[in-house]
Structure 1
């Protein structure tokens, strides 16, 4: 029986290069916050419509050449080719539709048509050869010879590789440029980017190997280049994630300092009012002074790139906050205060309690 062979119409899925998705506002260095940077893997070697369209056109041309060779063989042994010619005409109509398929959905439809028509041609040609008692072993070499000799097939093959090479290298350059822009913005905001920059530089040096493999149409070399770029880019993603983690920790510490400063300011106002009433406030005043100094020290340590020192200082500040809270509670118990003043002291004491509780997460 005639061997069943059908064209495989597909487009290879590209390797994914994991890089950083540059947010729209990242060019504004003054507002960049790594804790809000979206990090994900996404395809640099995208299965773009133009590349996929060129690939399908090339494969379809090979199939068309094979169909013509099959019809010629069956005609040479006096077989009927009327139905095969009609099927070939349908195939060519789908080829024409391919030229206007400008979305992946449209290309999917064309591919489905190609597969359906190819199957019909295969079944009809097998039936014709079986009826004629032809030699099926003769056909494959004839088909291969026709494909090899086709000027159109070679032209579409060249067009596919040119489109793919241009597309992949342009996508690579774009992603690398976006990543470099992000790192520059992070650096301008005083974030440490050395590890991420080293990884991006490593990835950039891999472009030559990718370009060489594409230009030589070396599928194995292309796959190897994709894998190397992908693996290196995972390291880049991790490096930027660490920047984001550091930025998140930095943000938490700064928020703690801001919250602490706000509650110290309220405590200072209460102390001023208590002093105006002739009440002894030496303990609360000392705690406010100590706490304010601790916050200033933590802020300086953070500015100098010493988050662990800042965290340790803030833990000392937490003890000061608790002592100040207890001092205010003592004032409430011992002193006969106007209701509004007592309520304000109670409110500050509660704020101090909340601040101390939140700092447990440091």
Structure 2
């Protein structure tokens, strides 16, 4: 999940950088956040309408000059509006990138033709710019598109940020449940989330500079989070270590079973060795059941119990070796087994 999370937040926070340029400018493996397309649509609708009004004002001014021919300019404006009408139907970044490319090409052609007609009609650039400014200033339709963009972006970007934060927390919870130490990654996630109020304030200010600054900071912090998660994933989780210890315990139990059988052939009564081994088997089984049920903390609490079982069994073998009249090889086997059990018991304190 880690890579998916970083892709999500990169797409979210680099959104401003790809509103009017192809998204391939963003990292190659970036997957758009949920509201990514809606925000790009709203932004493109705003800037396209503003350019539409500018072009129409320029066309109107040129048409008042003598010796001008505005037919091509009119055709280009009509073509621009045709492309503009495709914006609501855009569903992917590729759709939006295609619309942007077409709008930019038409805008260049219109600008060149406008310049040519201005020369032909000896138009005043100051007068034309004044007409354009008059048409765009306080234009209610442009203002409506601008408000829709910022509303869409604020709501969408914060929603996507919250989704990222929730998914990051879910990822950490899963890792912690499996026994990973998530302390560092949790801190990095919480520090990243603490940047939300600044991002919200920046979005509400409608300042691209403030939004970019807040986004850059959050992006940097989120990179720290991802790095911490990757570091966490390289740990050996507690559940894996406990399973390993239980496997070690199983092998020790198998050897103890065989040793008990050999000893009972010689002295019949092996005292505490038999009940100690039975208790060890029960506690190993109980711990494995807890682990398989996902009760990691309970399983960890059972390890000291198993440790004591090993120590008790080791002491039982020492007692037999020191008190019973045994063949040297069996006495030596009991002593060696006691040492091995002590060593296994010592490993139980490592989780």
Whether TM-score is above 0.5 comes out as yes
Q: Which moved more, 1:207-216 or 1:192-201?
A: 192-201
CA distance in 1, matches of 2:237, 2:186: 21
**Which residue in 2 is equivalent to 1:57?**
45
Retained in 1: the 8 A contact 2:180–2:233? no
CA distance in 1, matches of 2:222, 2:98: 34
Q: CA deviation at 1:137?
A: 4.2
Q: Give secondary structure in 1 for the equivalent of 2:137.
A: helix
**Which residue in 2 is equivalent to 1:291?**
340
CA distance in 1, matches of 2:134, 2:330: 102
Note the residue ranges of structure 1 that are not aligned, 5 or more in a row: 1-20, 22-36, 303-362
**Which residue in 2 is equivalent to 1:301?**
350
**Which residue in 2 is equivalent to 1:118?**
107
Retained in 1: the 8 A contact 2:178–2:238? no
1:83 to 61, 66, 72: 72
Q: CA deviation at 1:217?
A: 0.4
Distance 1:91 1:219, change over 3 A: same
The aligned runs of 1:240-319 (5 Å cut-off) are 240-246=229-235, 248=236, 250=238, 253-254=241-242, 256-268=244-256, 271=259, 280-302=329-351
Q: CA deviation at 1:256?
A: 4.5
The aligned runs of 1:1-362 (5 Å cut-off) are 21=1, 41-44=6-9, 45=12, 47=15, 48-78=36-66, 79-187=68-176, 192-246=181-235, 248=236, 250=238, 253-254=241-242, 256-268=244-256, 271=259, 280-302=329-351
Q: CA deviation at 1:64?
A: 0.4
CA distance in 2, matches of 1:43, 1:184: 19
Q: CA deviation at 1:224?
A: 1.8
Q: Give secondary structure in 2 for the equivalent of 1:280.
A: helix
Retained in 2: the 8 A contact 1:61–1:153? yes
Q: CA deviation at 1:152?
A: 1.5
- TM-score in terms of structure 2 length: 0.66
Retained in 2: the 8 A contact 1:183–1:197? yes
What is the aligned residue count?
266
Q: Which has the higher contact order (CA 8 A, sep 6+)?
A: 1
Q: CA deviation at 1:264?
A: 3.2
CA distance in 2, matches of 1:280, 1:233: 63
Q: CA deviation at 1:148?
A: 1.9
CA distance in 1, matches of 2:111, 2:48: 14
Retained in 2: the 8 A contact 1:169–1:211? yes
CA distance in 2, matches of 1:183, 1:73: 62
Q: CA deviation at 1:156?
A: 0.6
Q: CA deviation at 1:273?
A: 7.1
Note the residue ranges of structure 2 that are not aligned, 5 or more in a row: 16-35, 267-326
The CA RMSD over aligned residues, in Å, is 2.9
- TM-score in terms of structure 1 length: 0.64
Retained in 2: the 8 A contact 1:39–1:237? no
Retained in 2: the 8 A contact 1:268–1:285? no
Residues 94-153 of structure 1, C-alpha deviations (whole Å, 9 max, x = no match): 111111111112112211211221122122212212222333343333323322242211
